[in-house]
Structure 1
Amino acid sequence: MNNNLKERYDSIIFDLDGTLWDSTANVATAWQTAKLEVDYIKDDITQQTVRSITGMAYDAIFEKLFPYLEPDVREEFKRKCAKYELEVLNTKGGELYPELKSTLNYLQNKYKLFVVSNCQCGYIETFLKLNQLEHVFVGHQCYGTKGQPKFQNIIDVVNDYDLKAPVYIGDTQGDYDSATKAGVPIIFATYGFGKVNNGQPLAVIDKFSDLVEVL
C-alpha cells in the first residue's frame, strides 16, 4: 500500500457500485420482478447476473445480457427494470461497505468528494438520500444524465468544479481505463467486483477504511 499520497490531492471522485455499496441483491430482485411481467426473457435474473455486469454503462448492460432481443423490446425491458430498480432501492437500498460513513466524514474534512457512476438517473440520488449522505458529496455525474462514457463524466466533474488534483476510487478494469483516459490517477478497491488485469493503479485498498491511512 502506498502511504505517501497524503496532501497530494484536492478532491476524490468515487465510483459507486462495488466501491461505496453493494446493491446487487436488491437490483436482481427488481429486475426479476420486471422479468416476470414479460414473456420474452429466457433466464431468471440473479445476484450473480447483476454482479457480472456491474460497472458497465446502463445501455450496454442490457445489450450484453439480452442480445437476442430486438432493440425496441430491449429498450422496453430496460425501462421496466429501471423503474423497479429505483422503487426497490428507495426502500431497501444496498449494503454499505464497513466503516463507510466514518471514513467519508474523515475525508470530507480534507477533500471535495464526488461520485461518478455508469448508472441510470436517480440511482446516485437514491444512494445519497437513503444513507443521509447528501451533505458529504459536493456533486455527482452518471451515465443516465448525458449518455456519455465514464471517462467523459470524470472530465466533466473535473472541469465543472475546477479540480486541480483529483484522484479516482474504483473497483473494475473499466474504472481504471476510464480514470486513466480522463487523466486522473486511480486508487483500486480490491474488495469490489473486479480486478485490474492491465495497468498499475496508484495504490490499492483492501477495505474502504484504508483510505484514512492512504489519504
Structure 2
Amino acid sequence: MFLPVEEQAAKRSRGKLDSIIFDLDGTLWNSVDTVLLAWNSILKKQEKQQLSREDLEATMGLQMNEISRKLFPALSESERGQLVKECSEVENVFLAKQGGRLYENVEQVLEKLSQRYRLYIVSNCQEGYIEAFYKYHDLEKYFGDFENPGRTGLSKGGNINLVIERNNLSSPVYVGDTEGDLKAAKFAGIPFVYASFGFGQVNEYDEAIDSFEDLLKIFR
C-alpha cells in the first residue's frame, strides 16, 4: 500500500511537495503522427523503407541512440547516427509548424497546477524538441525549466537531478508513462506518478492516473 504521493515527497525530503516534473511523450502529448511524417519525408528522399506508426510507438521513451539501433539495425553506427540526426532536425521543424496531439485538458490542468506548484519537463528527446512543443502549443509559460539528453548527454534520471539541483527543488515528483520513467524517478529518489494513458506498461508506482485531469485529484 503506497502512501499518497504528497506524503511520499515529504517523507523523502522532509518538505512539502513543491514541484512536478513531467515527461513529454505519452504524458503531455502524442506527437507520433507528425514525427512519422517528418521521418518518412527523409527516408523517402533517401529511398529507404518507410516507417509505420507502430514502429515509432515502440521507441517511445528511448534515447536517440537506442531509437536508431531499434529502427535501423542494418545500418552502421555512423550511418544510423547521420540518418537520425537528419530526421530529428526535420522533426523539430514539422512539430513547430504542426504540433502534436495534446492529451485532453492539458492546458487547463497545467494552469491550475502552476498556481500551486513549480512545473518542469524532462524528456528523452533531442535538442529543439521541447522548444517545438512550446512554440506550437504556447505552453512555455507554465514551465520554469526543462532538460533533455540532446543538450546534456545525461540519462533521464541524471537530467531530473540536474533540474532539481538547478532550481533548488526540495520535494518534487515525476509524472511519466514508461518503465524508463519509473527507473529515472527511482534514480533521482523521488515519487513516480504513472500516466496509464501513455505508451508504456508500468506495474510499480506511487500513484496512477487514467487521464491528465486526474492530476488535480492527486495534487489537491
Decide: shared fold, TM above 0.5: yes
Question: Which residue of 1 is the match for residue 13 of structure 2?
Answer: none
Offset, 1:131: 1.0
Counterpart of 2:86 (choices 65, 76, 80) is 80
Structure 1 runs (4+) greater than 2 angstroms displaced: 2-8
C-alpha distance in 2 between matches for 1:53 and 1:134: 25
Offset, 1:60: 1.2
Structure 1: 5+ residue runs without aligned partners?
A: none
Report the TM-score, using the length of structure 1 for normalisation.
Answer: 0.94
Q: Secondary structure at the match of 1:140?
A: strand
Q: Secondary structure at the match of 1:201?
A: coil
The 5 Å alignment of 1:63-142 reads 63-142=69-148
Structure 2: 5+ residue runs without aligned partners?
A: 8-15
C-alpha distance in 2 between matches for 1:76 and 1:58: 11
Matched, 1:213 2:220: no
C-alpha distance in 2 between matches for 1:174 and 1:121: 19
Instruction: Single out whichever of 165-174 and 76-85 deviates more from structure 2.
Output: 76-85
The 5 Å alignment of 1:24-63 reads 24-39=32-47, 41=48, 43-63=49-69
Offset, 1:147: 1.4
Offset, 1:110: 0.6
Offset, 1:5: 4.2
C-alpha distance in 1 between matches for 2:90 and 2:4: 44
Amino acid in the other structure paired with 1:15:
D
Contact 1:29 1:46 in 2 (8 A): no
C-alpha distance in 2 between matches for 1:15 and 1:148: 15
C-alpha distance in 2 between matches for 1:26 and 1:134: 20
Aligned-residue sequence identity (percent) comes to 38
Which structure shows the higher helix fraction? 2
Offset, 1:4: 4.2
The 5 Å alignment of 1:112-191 reads 112-191=118-197
